[in-house]
Amino acid sequence: MEFGYKNIHLMKDKVVGTGAYGTVFHARIDNLVCAAKSLHPVLFRDNDPSTAGLHKKFLSECQIMSRLRHPNIVQYLGRTTDPQTQLPILLMELMDCNLTKFLEGEEPFPYHLQVNFSHDVAKAIAFIHSNQIMHRDVNSNNVLLLGRVQAKLGDFGMSSLLQDRKSRLTQCPGALAYMAPEAQSYMYSEMLDIFSMGVLLVHMMTRMYPNPTDAHRDVGFEKGRRLLVAVPELDRRREHISMINSSHPLLPIANNCLEDKAAQRPSANHLCQQIETLKTAPTYQESLKPRAQERRGEEKSSQRSEQEIEALRVKVENQQLEHQKLAEQLELKDRQLQEAQYRFTQQQAVQQERKRPIPRPIPQSETAVKKLQKELSASQEANSRLEETVAQLESRALHLRDQDGATEIGPDWK
């Protein structure tokens, strides 16, 4: 265990996500709810020597994440051991969702938010490159979000140290759709992450998962051998790129990142500068305006709701006073009726003794009481409807005060 936490509670029933090699679930360290990542125990049941590499990579991920402290990198919280499986568990910051899930949803994704998320990821890549680390698996699954506020880079299971910029011992194991052309060779550098960033930009602008065509094109035979020619990356991804508005400010940046030759791609620092420049442009500022207007509209709507509530409260109070008066009148008439009926009963008893008929008295009093009863019932129903209306408007006003403009509307750059 690291960081000296007093209590660690693993909540394996609350799964965040699962993959081929491991699972991420909720955990609680002291009073903090976080995410816990562990390898699948089934991979280690047969003492397969190949699984030793997984264990080593997992520990390497923990070691690399422990070195990284940056606002746009998922926060490492420590490492512990599963008491049941004795396998290591990585403890980290709990995020809301990954970018893939967000892009597959229906929530609006305005231009300024595209720029913000792009800038966040670019800053994370620049930071790890400055620490001689390349991620090797930058994709939408590994970009995690805190609401609509911040994007962070996570999952460093495939990351590697930049000890030798020309030689690599293994092929890149990242997502195929995000993979640079040099990834299949043993000669690649941190520019691999820049290419993946370009794919990520296209993914964000189209909201469609990348689906490039084949990397090689068959051009026939020569001397009995089939000839294959490499297809430029921009051509492989032309179908999705053509869906993007040609004036979208992020498009030329994405195209630059997707250059076939790594040397022609921008560095992570230059990429940050390019995206940061977009934040000062009128297009970015215009995209922010609808949210400000929406907030002002919500404030006005909230003020109107409060005025309506106040008016209805006054109306309800007046109705309640009227209701009270009717109730008092009904009670008075009821007493008068009871007294009259009592007198009638007494008179009837006396007349029976005298053998003389007596007419039924006070029919007008009974009619008045019934009328008042109907008026009271109608008043109660009206009062109940008004109270329901007040409750609904109070709930609406509270909702408007609590919400901070979740829905954003911006220019459609698709």
Q: Which residue has the higher pLDDT, 127 or 365?
A: 127
Q: What is the mean pLDDT of residues 204-211?
A: 95
Q: Is the pLDDT of residue 11 over 80?
A: yes
Measured CA distances, 111 to 114, 266, 292 (Å): 5, 22, 15
Q: Is the pLDDT of residue 113 over 70?
A: yes
Q: Determine the pLDDT at residue 244.
A: 96
Task: Copy the structure tokens of residue 239.
Answer: 């179908």
pLDDT digits (tens, 9 = 90+) for 352-398: 777 655 555 555 666 766 777 777 777 777 777 776 766 666 666 66
Q: Determine the pLDDT at residue 172.
A: 61
Measured CA distances, 6 to 10, 12, 24, 85, 393 (Å): 13, 19, 22, 21, 47
Q: Determine the pLDDT at residue 376.
A: 72
Provide the mean pLDDT of the chain: 82
Q: Determine the pLDDT at residue 167.
A: 41
Lowest-pLDDT choice from 64-73, 138-147, 184-193: 184-193
Q: Which residue has the higher pLDDT, 295 or 320?
A: 320
User: Longest Cα pair distance anywhere in the chain, in angstroms?
Assistant: 142
Q: Residue 178 carries which DSSP code?
A: G
CA 7 distance to own-chain centroid? 29
Most confident option among 58-62, 189-193, 267-271: 267-271
> Number of H helices and number of E strands within the chain?
10, 12
Most confident option among 172-181, 310-319, 336-345, 382-391: 172-181
pLDDT digits (tens, 9 = 90+) for 219-275: 777 776 878 888 899 999 999 999 999 999 999 999 999 999 999 999 999 999 999
Binding-site annotation, residues: 37
Q: What is the mean pLDDT of residues 164-182?
A: 69
Spatial separation of the C-alpha atoms in residues 344 and 341, rounded to whole Å: 5
Q: Which residue has the higher pLDDT, 363 or 43?
A: 43
Q: Is the pLDDT of residue 280 over 60?
A: yes
- 163 Cβ contact list (under 8 Å, min separation 6): 132
pTM of the model: 0.68
Q: Is the pLDDT of residue 99 over 90?
A: yes
Q: What is the mean pLDDT of residues 336-358?
A: 73
Most confident option among 32-41, 43-52, 114-123: 114-123
User: How many other CB atoms are found less than 10 A from the CB of residue 247?
Assistant: 9
Binding-site annotation, residues for ATP: 37
Q: Determine the pLDDT at residue 293.
A: 56
Q: Which residue has the higher pLDDT, 216 or 155?
A: 155
Q: Determine the pLDDT at residue 229.
A: 83
Q: Which residue has the higher pLDDT, 22 or 207?
A: 207
Q: Where residue 159 falls among pLDDT bands split at 50, 70, 90?
A: confident
